Amino acid sequence: MRRGSLTIVGTGIKFGPQTTPEARAAIQQADEVLYLLVGGAASKWVGRLNRRAKTLFAVYQRGHREGKERVAIYHDMVEDILGRLRAGVALCVVFYGHPGVFVTPAHQAIQRAREEGFRATMLPGVSAEDCLFADLGIDPLEGWQSYEATRFLILPRKFDTATPLVLWQLSGLGRLGVVDRLPGRSTLKVLVDYLARFYGRRHPVVLYEASHTERGRPQIRHLPLSGLLNAKLDGLPTLLVPPKTRAAPDLRMFDRLKIPRERAGAAKPSRPNRPRQVKR
């Protein structure tokens, strides 16, 4: 192993309360820290944990001024990270939420570091999905379908209307994950028209965004699928499509697994798993 190491951590959605002790220790003990976070308060918090902390946002700003694509900006971030590793630094890189969920430079940095002979580790963090389960009262026991919104449309796959469906990065719809600008009504109509083929335009859906602050509350809006066309998509909302039907037990599989058929009623959901109503 070469001298120098990389640890990539996440702050959780609410930095501080949702930052794991393991991640906090990695930030504090690192020779240097690089971070890309949401909001100035989170940046100051990391700076208090480690005085040798520096933001990666400047790389994004520079690339944006130069008119670079997001992929090229990510490449520049990874080069900054690798540059510090080559200098023999024990480096911690901090991202918002879970560092492995929709964080392309985190995965690229880990791969590149290992290819060059450095020790590289990613620590898990609290993600928006974890918050969604808690805030909406959803248990994925009966199944769970999770896709990035644009890729859900451009990479067709079979999905089950008896299982909750969640589409992430709705604000970046049509832009392959780039969320700098909100999608227009015509772009949203593509998604609504597609989902309506399977659920109907009046099927209830939920726009959800986890709270980013300790005392804040999640943003939860219940509306019919067709209501997405007029919904205000401020922030970074996630779309949850609850089940339309109940899943039917396969009695032949009960027999093969030697589970008594009379248990089929217990295995079958009593109703579709609907998200709870939460006052805002």
Instruction: Please identify which of the residues 2, 51, 60, 70 carries the catalytic annotation.
Output: 70
Q: Does residue 74 have an active-site annotation?
A: yes
Q: Does residue 70 have an active-site annotation?
A: yes
Q: Which two tokens stand for residue 172?
A: 């970046």
Is-contact 210 128, C-beta < 8 A? yes
Amino acid at 40: G
Q: Return d(Cα 104, Cα 170) in angstroms, integer.
A: 18
Instruction: Please identify which of the residues 96, 112, 199, 208 carries the catalytic annotation.
Output: 96
Instruction: Count the neighbouring beta carbons within 10 Å of the beta carbon of residue 269.
Output: 14
Instruction: Please identify which of the residues 35, 74, 199, 208 carries the catalytic annotation.
Output: 74
Q: Among residues 239, 245, 248, 237, which one has the least CA distance to residue 273? A: 245
Residues 6+ apart with CB under 8 A from 215: none
Q: Return d(Cα 105, Cα 70) in angstroms, integer.
A: 11
How many CA atoms are closer than 13 Å to the CA of 262, on its beta-carbon side? 0
Q: Among residues 274, 9, 266, 272, which one has the least CA distance to residue 121? A: 9
DSSP strand pairing (119-122 vs 5-10)? parallel
> What is the DSSP-derived secondary structure letter of residue 253?
H
- Residue 274 phi, psi (nearest 5): -90, 140
Instruction: Report the catalytic residues.
Output: 70, 74, 96
